[in-house]
Amino acid sequence: MLTLPELGLYFSFLLFLVGLAGVMFRKNILFMMLSVEILLNAANLAFVCASKLTGTMDGQVVMFFVMAVAACEAAIGLALIIALYRTKASIEADDLKALRG
Amino acid sequence: MNYQAMLAAILLIPLLGALLNGFLLRSAPRVVTVSVATLAIFIPFIFSCLLFFGPVNAGEVVRTDLFNWISVPFQGGHLDIPFALTVDRLSAILLLIITGVGSLIHLYAGEYMSHEEGVYRFFAYLNLFVFSMLSLVLGANMVVTFLGWEGVGVCSYLLIGYWYSDEANARAGMKAFIANRVGDLGFLLAMFMSVKLFGTVDYSKIAAALTNELAANNAPMITAIGLCLLLGVTGKSAQLPLYIWLPDAMAGPTPVSALIHAATMVTSGIYLMTRMSFLLVHSHTAMTTIAVIGACTALFAATIGLVQNDIKKVLAYSTVSQLGFMVLGCGVGAFQFGVAHLMTHAFFKALLFLGAGSVIHAMHHEQDIRKMGGLIKKMPITGWTFVIGTLAIIGFPGLSGFFSKDEILYNAWTGPFGHPLLWALGAGAAACTSFYMVRLTYLVFFGESRVEHAHGHHGHGHDHHHHHEIHENPLAMTLPLMILALLSIVGGYVSMPHAIMHTLGVHANENIITEWLSPVLASAKEVMSAGHGEEGHGSASLEWGLMGASTLVMLIMSGFALSLYKVGPKGGDSIANAVGGLYRLILDKWRIDELYQGVIIEPLKKVGDAFFKFGDRALIEGIINEGPRGIYLVTSVLSDVQSGLVRNYLKVVFIAMVALCAWILI
């Protein structure tokens, strides 16, 4: 019988796959952003569960850092998306390929 | 002021004038430009006179080394070529001609170019030309001479194409430059061979090094140097086969034709041959070739002059022909008379060209002698000085051309390398000269005026010019004419034939020019008399006979021309019709230009095209264009990986991550 932290780890793995699929297959940058949030939360969940399993506080401390970074990332990312929409009138990722070789 | 500094000043003042006019005084008033240019030639003229009557007259050679120009390791030692100037009796004569006739022509040009805008360019070029010409004659070694040799070529090119907006003028300039380049190659090769043979390019050192043993041991080399020099001479002095540029060079302003293409530049070949006479006389082949080319050119160009209708073209072919006489004189070993004829020719041909320019100026750029006639009443000074020039060139007894030409013809028969056949060619050329010069003078200055008649069907838009009365030009143009006319009369007495000298009771062994140039020509004389005994002197009766023959020919041909053209320019038509084909052939200048076009220029163009197609297009452009294209093809495959799509990058990251995990776990 799986303990709760172990279950949480497996769940965080599934959550990570969902986020990864979202980033890889979504074409709308807004949804890609949301998927990135899911990825970060999957990581957070893994940290917390790992912390519980090992009995140390390290994972939980890292989780707070990640949450702070995620908040910043969301603010900057959304600002970029708005700026992008103003210039390109589109937030489709496939429209943005100026760096093509 | 010592003589060394004076010598340097003679060379540098014209350069200074050119720089002033070319850069600083561009927007100066016309009178400043003209004064600067003329003074830049006149001051050296004064210095030249001081040198001429001072040390040079006393038999000294003034030499000054300005700086060490070229210094290279050579055959274990050092080959040092200083920028050295020297003036001896030969270059002193040239110096007086260049600066003296040059100042007169500058004075004249100031007036002649008075209707032109931006004459600073013209006078800067003209001064630069004089600088180059002076370094040509003053150079103490072949390299300094070569500098001047190239410089006069460049200035000639610039001045022929002075009115460059007309494409024909620009083409004439290029033609002159290219024909000269062919000749320059000869000079260069001669210079290289002198370095190889003597280890020096200094004239005096070569002369000292060239002993009879050395000449005998290196006979083929000496002949090669002589023939290469001759190639240079044919280019610069417009001899067969490179003479073609000179008639076209008449596209330049007339003072240029007088200074460059009659009095100075074209005679540099004669100067060079006289300078190198001590070497040339060692090669019988070279001397004979020189003489034959000179004689053939004299006759050939004279025949073309017979039928030309452009006043300057007649004079141009006449110049080629007279240069042929000078080359003939050098070729038969009478270098001093080549130089004498150079001098008298500088006087009377400059006079004739300036006279022609005076006519052209008064007629507002009309050059066709069929549209002139009777001008002597309207332009008496130009007319009578032109007549003097004509009498001088055809060798009327007592005028300068008679003495110098006669001495050349006499030596063509009796000289060390002479032959009666050479005399016959020369006499034929002299006969033609009499005919075309009398024809020219008569059609321009005498007979009925055909000027008004010309207006009718000569419908230019700016015809109001033509309605001005034709009148004599101002003193700035007529003064040079009068001075040159005086010189054309008296200039020949320096080369008075022995027979006349003895009759007049002059007690001298040699005439003035022979005496004067004897230090320069001493070693050449020695070689020639050693090889040919004393046959260099013919008898007095032969001298009288040849003189009489050429005078008679001159009188007959002049009378013939007068009787033909008494009725106007159509007077020659009956003869022209009788020999129709030949007449048209000569009118087309023997179609030599067409021959060169077909035989040399077109094949060269084809070769050039082939090189362009295979060398330039296929090879060079192939490497330059196809190489990068290949690299591009390879890299474009790689650059496709960088699609610019974020999701693709993420896929790569994902795959890499999975692979990394798999690698760590397994």
Residue B388: the pLDDT is 93
For residue B192, give both structure tokens.
């290289």
Range with the poorest average pLDDT among A92-101, B228-237, B649-658: A92-101
The proportion of chain A whose per-residue pLDDT surpasses 70, expressed as a percent, equals: 99
Range with the poorest average pLDDT among B165-179, B336-350, B410-424, B446-460: B446-460
Residue of A24, A32, A98 lying closest to B644 (CB–CB)? A98
Structure ipTM = 0.80
| Contact call for residues B418 and B411 (beta carbons, < 8 A) | yes
Q: pLDDT digit string (tens) for B546-602?
A: 888 889 999 999 999 888 888 878 877 888 888 878 888 888 888 888 888 888 889
For the cut 60, the answer to whether the pLDDT of residue B13 exceeds it is yes
| Contact call for residues B63 and B107 (beta carbons, < 8 A) | no
B16: number of Cβ within 10 Å: 15
Average pLDDT over residues B402-412: 89
Question: What are the angstrom distances between the C-alpha of B93 and each of B64, B359, B665?
Answer: 18, 30, 105
Q: pLDDT digit string (tens) for B285-336?
A: 999 999 999 999 999 999 998 888 899 999 999 999 999 999 999 999 889 9
Chain B residues touching residue A16 (CB < 8 angstroms): none
HEC readout, B226-243: HHHHHHHHHHHCCCCCCC
Residue B467: the pLDDT is 46
Question: What are the angstrom distances between the C-alpha of B366 and each of B100, B414, B448?
Answer: 29, 45, 17
Question: What are the angstrom distances between the C-alpha of B220 and each of B102, B464, B578?
Answer: 40, 65, 49
Q: pLDDT digit string (tens) for B417-427?
A: 888 899 999 99
Residue of A93, A99, A100 lying closest to B647 (CB–CB)? A93
| Contact call for residues B451 and B577 (beta carbons, < 8 A) | no
Q: How far apart are CA B360 and CA B367, in angstroms?
A: 6
Q: A24–B640: do the CB atoms touch at under 8 Å? A: no
Q: Which residue of B has its CA nearest to A16?
A: B654
Range with the poorest average pLDDT among B92-106, B318-332, B611-625: B611-625
Residues in chain A: 101
The proportion of chain B whose per-residue pLDDT surpasses 70, expressed as a percent, equals: 96
Establish how many alpha carbons lie within 13 A of residue A12's alpha carbon, considering only the half-sphere containing its beta carbon. Answer: 17
pLDDT under 50: residue ranges of chain A: none
Residues in chain B: 666
Residue B464: the pLDDT is 44
pLDDT band at B454 (very low <50, low <70, confident <90, very high): very low
Peptide bond connecting B474 to the previous residue in cis, omega within 30 degrees of 0 = no
- φ/ψ of residue A14, rounded to 5: -60, -45
Q: How far apart are CA B152 and CA B267, in angstroms?
A: 11
Which parts of B589-657 are beta strand (E)?
Answer: none
pLDDT band at B148 (very low <50, low <70, confident <90, very high): very high
B375: number of Cβ within 10 Å: 24
SS3 (DSSP) at B664: helix
Residue B241: the pLDDT is 86
Q: How far is A36 from chain B (nearest CA, A)?
A: 12
Chain A residues touching residue B646 (CB < 8 angstroms): 32, 93, 96
Residue to test with chain B: of A18, A23, A28, most B Cβ within 10 A: A23
What are the extents of the domains in chain A? 4-89
- φ/ψ of residue B42, rounded to 5: -75, -40
For the cut 60, the answer to whether the pLDDT of residue B460 exceeds it is no
Q: A101–B639: do the CB atoms touch at under 8 Å? A: yes
Q: How far apart are CA B146 and CA B619, in angstroms?
A: 37
Element at B78 (helix H, strand E): strand B77-87
Report which DSSP code applies to B139: B
User: For residue B569, which of B447, B402, B653 has the smallest C-alpha distance?
Assistant: B447
Chain A residues touching residue B645 (CB < 8 angstroms): 93-94, 97, 100
List the Cα angle B270/B273/B275 in 5-degree steps: 105
| Contact call for residues B335 and B379 (beta carbons, < 8 A) | no
Residue to test with chain A: of B635, B636, B641, B650, most A Cβ within 10 A: B650
List the Cα angle B61/B17/B172 in 5-degree steps: 95
Q: A100–B646: do the CB atoms touch at under 8 Å? A: no
Residue B418 Cα to chain centre, angstroms: 25
Q: How far is B176 from chain A (nearest CA, A)?
A: 57
CATH architecture of A4-89: Orthogonal Bundle (1.10)
